[in-house]
Homo-oligomer: A and B are copies of this chain.
Amino acid sequence: MGNKPKVSNAIIRRLPRYRRYLGYLQTKGVKKVSSNELSEMIGYTASQIRQDLNTFGEFGQQGYGYEVDKLYKEINRILGLDREYRTVVVGVGNLGQAITNYTYYYKIGFNIMGLFDVNPKIIGNWINDVEVMDCSRLEEYVRKEGIDIGIICVNRENAQEVADSLIEGGVKGIWNFAPIDLVVPEGVAIESVHLSDSLHALSFMIKNMDPESDRNR
| Contacts from A to B (Cβ < 8 Å) | 2, 4, 7, 12-13, 15-17, 19-20, 43, 78-81, 85, 94-95, 97-99, 101-103, 106, 110, 148-149, 172-173, 175, 179, 181, 185-191, 193-211, 213-214
B102 and A197 form a contact (CB under 8 A): no
B80 and A110 form a contact (CB under 8 A): no
B79 and A172 form a contact (CB under 8 A): no
When distances are taken between beta carbons in the complex, the residues of chain B under 8 Å from A202 are 149, 173, 175, 189, 191
B20 and A179 form a contact (CB under 8 A): yes
When distances are taken between beta carbons in the complex, the residues of chain B under 8 Å from A78 are 204
Known: A80-B204, A187-B213, A207-B79. A198 touches B175 (CB 8 A): yes
Q: Point out which of A106, A172, A203 has the most chain B C-beta atoms below 10 A from its C-beta.
A: A203
B191 and A193 form a contact (CB under 8 A): no
Q: How far is the CA of A184 from the CA of B13 in the complex (A)?
A: 22
Q: How far is the CA of A7 from the CA of B204 in the complex (A)?
A: 10
When distances are taken between beta carbons in the complex, the residues of chain B under 8 Å from A4 are 210
When distances are taken between beta carbons in the complex, the residues of chain B under 8 Å from A110 are 199
When distances are taken between beta carbons in the complex, the residues of chain B under 8 Å from A201 are 12-13, 15-16, 79, 191
B191 and A20 form a contact (CB under 8 A): no
When distances are taken between beta carbons in the complex, the residues of chain B under 8 Å from A185 are 213
When distances are taken between beta carbons in the complex, the residues of chain B under 8 Å from A200 are 15-16, 19, 79, 81
Q: Nearest-CB distance from A15 to chain B (Å)?
A: 6
Q: How far is the CA of A198 from the CA of B188 in the complex (A)?
A: 16
B173 and A205 form a contact (CB under 8 A): yes
CB<8 Å pairs between A and B, sample of 26: A4-B210, A7-B208, A12-B201, A12-B205, A13-B201, A15-B200, A16-B200, A16-B201, A17-B181, A20-B197, A43-B181, A80-B207, A81-B200, A85-B203, A94-B97, A95-B102, A97-B98, A102-B195, A103-B199, A149-B206, A175-B199, A186-B213, A189-B206, A189-B209, A191-B199, A191-B202
